[in-house]
Chain A
Amino acid sequence: MENLNYAITTKSLSIQYGNFIAVNNVDMNIASQKITAIIGPSGCGKSTLLRAFNRMNDLVPSCKVSGEIYLDGENLYGKGVDPVEVRRKIGMVFQKPNPFPRSIFENITWGAKINGYKGDLGELVETSLRSAALWDEVKDKLHQSAYALSGGQQQRLCIARAIAIQPEIILMDEPASALDPISTLAIEDLMQELKQNYTIIIVTHNMQQAARASDFTAMMMLDNDGSRSGTIIEFDETNKMFTNPNDKRTQDYVTGRYG
C-alpha cells in the first residue's frame, strides 16, 4: 500500500453487551479521504463495530467497550472525552432514512444551530444540499415537510444533514439497503464525490456495492470458536480482496459460495 494518511485507527477494540462479546479484538487503520467498506454475513457485528466509531453504543446501557480508537491522535474512549464532541466530528447516516419531522430547511439547520454555527444558514443549507446532490430537486420547497420526499431523497437529505455539521468522517450503516436500485446508484455516485472532502466508512450487505464503490474492504466474520463474536479476518484494497483474497473464508464469501 502506498504511504497513506490514516484518519482513524482502532487498537484491540472489543465491544460487549453484558456478557455477550459482539466484536472481538479489532485492529483497523482507516485511510483518510477514501471509502472503506465493512462487509460480512448478517449478525457478525458490523453495525456494532461501526457505531463504536461515533460512540453511539454509549446509548445502550449494557454496552461496554474496551480498547482504543484514535482520531487525530486522541483516544475517543479516553477519560473525559465527551461523546457529544465525538459525534460532531464523526457523522452518521442510518439504514432507514430518519429525517426530523420538520421542514427540509430545518432538518439541516437544527444540527448546525445546536453546534453553534455562526455563519449564514441559508448558504449552509444550499451548500449541504448541493454536496448531497439534492439541491436541484428541493430548492423550491425548502420549507415543506421532509416527510414529503421519496425514500432516496430522504436519505440524501440525511447525508446533507450529516455534512452540514462539517465532520471529518462519515459513517454509513447500509445507507442504500432500504432504497431502490436507481437511488442506490445515486448514493454511490454521491459517495465518490464526498470522499474528496470526507473519510467514509460504509457497512454494506451488498457485495457488488462494496466492489463498485469502495477503495478498501474489511471482511468481518464470526469467530470459529463458536462464541458468536465477530472479528475482522481480512482487510485490504478492494481490488485485491475481490480478485485474490488471502483468507479462504473471504474467498468463499465474495464468490457467493457462502453468505
Chain B
Amino acid sequence: MTKPTVYPEGDDLQKLLSGRYQKAAIWQFAFLGALMVAIIALMGLIYNVADGAFGFIVYEYKTAPSKFTSTPLNELSKAELLSILNNELSSGAYKKLDNEKPLTKRGQAELMELFMERLVRMDVKATYSLTDSLFSADRIRAEVTETYPNAIIEFRSWLTPQFLTSPMSSRAEFAGVRTAILGSLWLVGISILFALPVGTGAAVYLQEYAPKNWLSTAIQTNINNLAGVPSIVYGMLGLAVFVRWLEPITSGSMFGVVDSNGRTVLAAGLTMGILSLPLIIINAQEAIKAVPNGLRQAAYGVGATRWQTVWYHVLPNALPGILTGSILALSRSLGETAPLIVVGASTFISIDPSSPFSKFTALPIQIYQWTTRAQSEFHAIAAAAIIVLLILLLTLNATAITLRNKFQRRW
C-alpha cells in the first residue's frame, strides 16, 4: 500500500527547502544590517570625539622662555623651575600658589605647567583636528607659516594627566576636569546611596507584600510612566523641593554650615536619585520576580514569616539582578545634564567639593559649557572631557558588574 503523498518529495521538496533558506538568509542579512548601523553609529561617535581631542596646535609665547632661562625647555629640572618661579612670580601670587599646595611638593610636570601658564603665557592661535593633522600636515604648515610667522606648531594630545588633575581655568590650554570629575563622583555616590535602598525597598513591598488590587495596579502604572519622564522635569522638581523647600537641610544650615544656599551637591545628588528611582524599582521588581518560587515555599514550609523569607532568601537571591539594574541608573546619574543646570551646578568653580554641602560642577555641565565657547581650543578640551566621561562610565560599570559576579558566584 503506497503512502499518501501529503508532503512534497523530490524536486518539489528541493524547491520548498531553497525557498525557506532564501527567506532565512534575507532575514539574517537584515539583522546583520541593523547591527552594522549600530556599530557604524558607535564608531562615528568615537571617531568624532577622538578627532577633536588630538591634533596640531599653533601657539605663540607672550614671553619667550629664553628670557627666563637659557636651558632648553625639555631639560628644565624641578630645582631650576622652582628657582625661576620664586624669582619671577610676584610674592602675592607665589604665596597663594604655595598655600594651595606647597610648590616644593609639586612634581616637575606641574611646575612646568605653572611656568608655562603664569610666566611664559602660552597663547594658542589655532587648533586642528586629528584627521587634518594626520593627512594634511603639509598644507597646515604652509598655512601657519603664512598667518602666524612666529608661532610654533606642535602635535598635542589634549587628554593628558594634567588635564585630569588640574582644576578649571578660563584658559583652555590650562583647564582641567578635576573639579568636574570629583563633582560627578559625589553626585553618583549620593544618588546611588539614596536610590538603591529606597528603590529596592519599594520593589520588595510591591512584589511580596502589596495585595493585588486596583490601587497597587495604579501605583505600578505610575511608576512605569515616571521612568519615561524627561529629566528636566526632575530638575524642576529638585529645584522646588531640594534647593528651595528643603534648603535648611541641603544647604547644611541645619547642621551648622554657614554661608551656603540650597544649590549644593547634596540637592543635586538627591535629584538624580529621584531620577533613577523608577528605573531601579522596575528593575528590582523583575529581579525579585525571577527568584524561583520553590525557594520561597521552602522557607515558608519551615515556618518562616514573610519578612524572614524575603530578607534571608528572596533578596540575597535577587541581589545580582538588582545590581545589574543599578548600572543603568548609574549611567543616567552620570550623564544627565539638564536637571543639573536647573538645580544649580556652578559653571565656573575651581574648588573641589569637600562635603555634601559644597557647590559643585559635573562633567556633562563642563562639556556643555566648553562646547558653547567660540574658540576651537575649548572644543578640543570638550572632546577630551568626553573621553574622560566615557572612561569613567566604563569603569563604574565594570565595578558594578564585578560586584554582581562576586555575589552570583556564591553558590
Binding site for B on A (CB under 8 A): 54, 56, 59, 61, 84-85, 87-88, 91-92, 94, 96, 98-102, 110-111, 114-115, 145, 147, 158, 161-162, 164-165
Contacts and interface: CB of A to CB of B under 8 A. Distances in A.
A92 B301 contact: yes
B303 A158 contact: no
B7 interface: no
Nearest to A58: B300
The 5 closest A-B pairs by CB, nearest first: A111-B302, A88-B303, A98-B294, A101-B411, A87-B303
Contacts of B212: 61
Interface string B364-377: 00000000000000
B312 A56 contact: no
A85 B303 contact: yes
Contacts of B411: 101-102, 145, 147
5 contacts: A59-B297, A102-B411, A114-B302, A145-B411, A158-B298
A165 B303 contact: yes
A56 B301 CA distance: 8
Query: What range describes how many residues of B lie at the interface?
Result: 20 to 34
A87 B313 contact: no
Contacts of B313: 100
A87 B301 contact: yes
Interface of B: 211-212, 292, 294-305, 308, 312-313, 317, 410-411
Contacts of B302: 87-88, 91, 110-111, 114-115, 161-162, 164-165
Given A61-B211, A88-B303, A101 B410 contact: yes
Contacts of B305: 84, 114
A98 B308 CA distance: 17
Contact of A94 (B298, B303, B312): B298
Contact of B301 (A94, A96, A101): A94
B295 to A, nearest CB: 6
A98 B297 contact: yes
Contacts of B304: 84, 111, 114
A102 B411 CA distance: 7
Nearest to B308: A114
Nearest to B299: A100
A145 B302 CA distance: 19
Contacts of A99: 298
Given A84-B305, A101-B410, 20 more contacts: A54-B301, A56-B301, A59-B300, A84-B304, A91-B301, A92-B297, A94-B294, A96-B294, A98-B294, A99-B298, A100-B299, A100-B313, A101-B317, A101-B411, A111-B302, A115-B302, A115-B303, A161-B302, A162-B301, A165-B303
Contacts of B292: 98
A102 B317 CA distance: 11
Contacts of B211: 61
A161 B302 CA distance: 8
Contacts of A145: 411
Contacts of A92: 297, 301
A94 B294 CA distance: 8
B301 A100 contact: no
A97 B224 CA distance: 36
A158 B313 CA distance: 16
Contacts of B299: 100
Contacts of A102: 411
B292 to A, nearest CB: 8
Contacts of A115: 302-303
A147 B308 CA distance: 21
Contacts of B410: 101
A108 B73 CA distance: 74
A165 B300 CA distance: 13
Nearest to A115: B303
Contacts of A61: 211-212
Given A61-B211, A114-B308, A145-B411, A98 B303 contact: no
Q: Which of A61, A100, A102, A161 has the most CB of B within 10 A?
A: A100
Nearest to B317: A101
Nearest to B312: A110
B36 to A, nearest CB: 42
A44 B297 CA distance: 22
A104 to B, nearest CB: 12
Nearest to B212: A61
Contacts of A111: 302-304
Nearest to B411: A101
A100 B298 contact: yes
Nearest to B301: A92
B300 A98 contact: no
B321 to A, nearest CB: 15
A94 B300 CA distance: 12
B300 A87 contact: yes
A114 B301 contact: no
Given A87-B301, A161-B302, A98 B295 contact: yes
B297 A94 contact: yes
A247 B301 CA distance: 35
A17 to B, nearest CB: 14
A81 to B, nearest CB: 13
A101 B320 CA distance: 14
Nearest to A101: B411
B405 to A, nearest CB: 16
Contacts of A114: 302-305, 308
A136 to B, nearest CB: 24
A242 to B, nearest CB: 30
A211 B14 CA distance: 57
A114 B305 CA distance: 9
Q: Which of A96, A99, A114, A161 has the most CB of B within 10 A?
A: A114
A94 B298 CA distance: 8
